[in-house]
Structure 1
Amino acid sequence: MKNAVTFRLWQMLLGWGSVGLIYTLTDHLQHAGQIMTPSSLDRMIEFSPHAIWLYLSFFVVVPLGYLLTPLDRVRWLSRAMRLTALGSGTVYLVWPTTMVYPVDEGTTLSSIMLAALTYVDSAQNCLPSLHMALMVLAVWGVSAARRRVRTIVFILWVAAISYSILQLRRHLFLDVISGAAIALLSGWLIDVFSRSRQRARKESLQ
């Protein structure tokens, strides 16, 4: 049991840690980003600093993803996150994007937390949203356990966080959709690569 937990934590360090490293490096290496225009859907969603609390629960979703994904799928989750980070990082360097962030002059604890987040977060690296991408992969991993109620809870949780991203104006709807898309593509590619390796091993043993 102890070895299994250690393995999960190590894979999380490799996967999530790579995301953080690439996110930070690309933020420093890229040139000034193109300002993205909000869609009509973005403009319909009212800005609210109070969404910060739901937004921060992202930092619970990802670790739970590694802890609740079936053990034989944890390595897949880590590799998919690394591939997602590489793909996103390439986009950040080739076509950096930014947006016009709302000015929040509130004095509530929510506003203070949002100001702290804004201070440490990148003002660029908008498209695709790695925030969304990692949550999609975490839910995908958790769903592999085939526990319906748990999967539904995670899907609803991630959907709520996605909405909070738009409420806080940390990303636009296009960023969120593209983040989900690159996560799905990366996860699928890792699956294809893994099956190809398994077939190659079987053939070599015959």
Structure 2
Amino acid sequence: MKNQFYRANQLLLGWGFVGVIYHLTDHLQGTGRVITPSWIDEFIPFSANAIWPYLSFFLIIPLGYFLAPLNAVRWLARAMQIAALGAGTVYLLWPTTLQAPVDTGHGLTSKLLKGLIAADSTQNCLPSLHVTLTLLAVWAVAKSRQSFTTWVLMLWGFVIAFSILQLKRHLFIDLIGGVVLAWIAGALAQRLTHKKELSGE
């Protein structure tokens, strides 16, 4: 029970911090620059059904904290905090947006998509924190060296990343930016964690 409380606390400190920075920058930033879609974005057709794997992001992140080895949980929280600061800086200095297609459906899928659009930022596109946090969660679980679980989450993460492009919530360049940010944040968190361990903290 103590370990589960620790994991939940780190989840709040890591993912919760991301939420604070995300919404704060959304209110403080200026008007976003519209990014032109690449040929990859043009090739992938819009699909409102992608909302389902897109929203599964809210399951894979907590799983990252609860399936990762205990000694990787603090690293995951730190990596997410660093990623939030990095993304937040870009959102403030160079806010971006895109021209998303309008969904004309009336079913549950369309209602969920409309709800997401109403609640989410119209900017904060580059880098995609959706991609960054998903990668960090999978990375943390991979530290357990449980190959089956890792491969399942990697496949899941790929589906989430693809759904982002299908929903036209992000462009391919945002996805690439999210991957780069995850690598930087993960590496910096690793260095910080290692230094803390050497100092005995």
Give TM-score, length-normalised by structure 2.
0.97
Structure 2 gaps of 5+ residues are: none
1:105 offset after TM fit, Å?
Answer: 1.0
1:180 offset after TM fit, Å?
Answer: 1.3
Q: Are 1:15 and 2:10 an aligned pair?
A: no
Residues 81-117 of structure 1, C-alpha deviations (whole Å, 9 max, x = no match): 0000000000000000000011111112111110000
Aligned position for 2:3:
4
1:40 offset after TM fit, Å?
Answer: 0.1
Q: Are 1:53 and 2:52 an aligned pair?
A: yes
Q: Aligned-residue CA RMSD in angstroms?
A: 1.1
Residues 149-182 of structure 1, C-alpha deviations (whole Å, 9 max, x = no match): 1100000000011111000000001101111110
Amino acid at match of 2:18: V
Aligned position for 1:160:
159
Aligned position for 1:108:
107
Structure 1 gaps of 5+ residues are: none
Amino acid at match of 2:116: L
1:201 offset after TM fit, Å?
Answer: 5.0
Amino acid at match of 1:82: Q
Q: Distance in 1 between matches of 2:81 and 2:160?
A: 22
Residues 122-160 of structure 1, C-alpha deviations (whole Å, 9 max, x = no match): 000000000000000000000011011110000000001
1:78 offset after TM fit, Å?
Answer: 0.3
Give TM-score, length-normalised by structure 1.
0.95
Give 1 or 2 for the bigger CA radius of gyration. 1
Counterpart secondary structure, 1:122: coil
Q: Are 1:96 and 2:100 an aligned pair?
A: no
Q: Distance in 2 between matches of 1:38 and 1:94?
A: 21
Q: What does residue range 118-157 of structure 1 map to in structure 2 within 5 Å?
A: 118-157=117-156
Q: Distance in 1 between matches of 2:196 and 2:166?
A: 43
1:189 offset after TM fit, Å?
Answer: 0.8
Aligned position for 2:28:
29
Q: Distance in 1 between matches of 2:171 and 2:181?
A: 16
Aligned position for 1:44:
43
Aligned position for 1:86:
85
Amino acid at match of 2:143: A
Q: Distance in 1 between matches of 2:197 and 2:21?
A: 29
Amino acid at match of 1:48: S
Alignment: residue pair count: 201
Q: Distance in 2 between matches of 1:198 and 1:62?
A: 25
Counterpart secondary structure, 2:99: coil
Amino acid at match of 1:21: V
Between the aligned residues of both structures, percent identity stands at: 52
Counterpart secondary structure, 1:83: helix
Q: Distance in 1 between matches of 2:200 and 2:152?
A: 38
Amino acid at match of 2:132: A
Aligned position for 2:71:
72
Q: Distance in 2 between matches of 1:84 and 1:73?
A: 16
